[in-house]
Structure 1
Amino acid sequence: MGRELADLPFARYLTPIEEEPAREGDYDCVHVDDRQLDHVAAEHVRFAESALSSLTVTRGSFRYGRFTDVWLRAVAWIGTDLSDTSWQDTEFVEGALSGVDAGGAVLRRVRFEGCKFDSVNFRRAKLREVTFADCVLRHTDFSDADLTTVSFPGSTLTDLSLNKTRMRKVDLRGATRIGVADGLDGLRGAIITPLQLMDLAPSFASALGIAVADDR
């Protein structure tokens, strides 16, 4: 699943580091591996052509951080502030995000594979050319976010919040389940299958105040 560390074009140039990422730190071609980071303060940090693996970040802050051409495998973000971060040409493999604030984040050419999202805030975020492959998204909030050319092959989506979400070329046809808690009109601009439309029909009827009953 996903690329291995050795597959990265910059793998041979990676330098292991032991210290915690620092506020306004600038890291090029580094490898952070097998670490537990608690309450780390790394606002405005920058990572480029780097790898993060077997890492757990608990209640940290990476706000305004920039991640370019970064590979992440088995990284768990728990209760961490990723708001207003920028991610480009980045790959998340078998990761987990729980109680994460990614409000206002900008993601471009990002791939999530085999990742789990639980109560993640993507409010006001901008996602362009982003893929969620074989992922689980629960209680994920895309309110007031912009999604362009985003797809969800093999992913399960439940209790999504889509209030004022703007979608363009969003392909939901590969999703195994779509559940919207609120903001059904945020699906405008998405592509779904006829079967998915049938599954969503009760939610659409409820949102429109339509009572569905058997013939008498």
Structure 2
Amino acid sequence: MEIIEDISNLDRTDFISCEFRAQRFDGMDLSQFRFEGCVFEDCSFRSALMEECTFLTCRAIKADFSYARLSDAHFQACNLSLANWTGADVSSAKFHDCKLTGADFKDTRALGIDFNGSLLSSAFLREMNFRKCHLDGIDFTEADLAGCDFRDATFDNCRLQNAHLATARFEGADLRAADLGVLTFSTATCFKGAIISKNQATELLHGLGVLVL
């Protein structure tokens, strides 16, 4: 793997199997740059311009993307656990098959963001707009989804176990193919207006102590 310790004069936009150690890309223009199989150790992209950039099979644990402009960026099969996206513009960005455990998306601009196939357990996603989205293969276990808009969204093979759902909206959302965890009366009220399956309804009644024959 090529180790890059000085990024002050980048003379290319395509990097394959490179290791960046404690590099600060802060404020740099990385638009349409492509990184494949790269490792970013203790790196910061704060306020960088990264529109339409591509990260394939990269590892950037705890990376700082705060206030970066990442509209239409594409992340594929990357480990971005504990990354900081505070205040970033991730509109129409794609995170496919990525690991985003504990990632912080506080105050992001995220219209049209796509997380399909990704792990978002314990992530901070408050007030994100997923209205009318098709959500496929996303693990929201223990994620903070308070205030999120899921109205008319479709959930396929998604997990919502122990997610924080206070004030989230689910009117018209199709949850029939989602794993909602153990349904009790208190948790079921979070899904007011949503569509659930007969099996899920039966589980809810069991949680209320009602015997269904």
Q: Which TM-score bucket, shorter chain as reference?
A: 0.7 to 0.9
* Superposed counterparts of 1:1-216, under 5 Å: 15-17=13-15, 22-175=25-178, 177-179=179-181, 184-201=188-205, 205=208, 212=209
Q: SS where residue 85 of structure 1 aligns?
A: coil
CA displacement, residues 46-77 of structure 1 (integer Å, 9 cap, x when unaligned): 32222111111122211122222222111111
Structure 1: 5+ residue runs without aligned partners?
1-13, 206-211
Counterpart CA distance in 2 for 1:213 and 1:153 is: 28
- Tell me: CA distance 1:198–1:103, structure 2 relative to 1, closer, same or farther (3 Å): farther
Counterpart CA distance in 2 for 1:66 and 1:168 is: 31
**CA-CA distance at 1:190 after TM superposition:** 2.8
Please tell me the residue identity of whatever aligns with 1:141: D
Matched-pair contact (CA < 8 Å) for 2:137–2:156: yes
- Cα RMSD (Å): 2.9
Q: SS where residue 153 of structure 1 aligns?
A: strand
- Tell me: CA distance 1:29–1:137, structure 2 relative to 1, closer, same or farther (3 Å): same
- Tell me: CA distance 1:111–1:70, structure 2 relative to 1, closer, same or farther (3 Å): same
Counterpart CA distance in 2 for 1:130 and 1:84 is: 22
- Normalised to the residue count of structure 1, the TM-score between the two structures is 0.74
**CA-CA distance at 1:169 after TM superposition:** 4.2
Matched-pair contact (CA < 8 Å) for 1:103–1:125: no
- Tell me: CA distance 1:213–1:154, structure 2 relative to 1, closer, same or farther (3 Å): closer
**CA-CA distance at 1:168 after TM superposition:** 4.6
Between the aligned residues of both structures, percent identity stands at 18
**CA-CA distance at 1:131 after TM superposition:** 3.4
Runs of 4+ in 1 over 6 A off after TM superposition: none
Aligned residues: 194
CA displacement, residues 73-124 of structure 1 (integer Å, 9 cap, x when unaligned): 1111122211232322332221111121112333222332322222111123
Matched-pair contact (CA < 8 Å) for 1:107–1:128: no
Answer 1 or 2: which has greater strand percent.
1
**CA-CA distance at 1:166 after TM superposition:** 2.9
Matched-pair contact (CA < 8 Å) for 1:96–1:115: yes
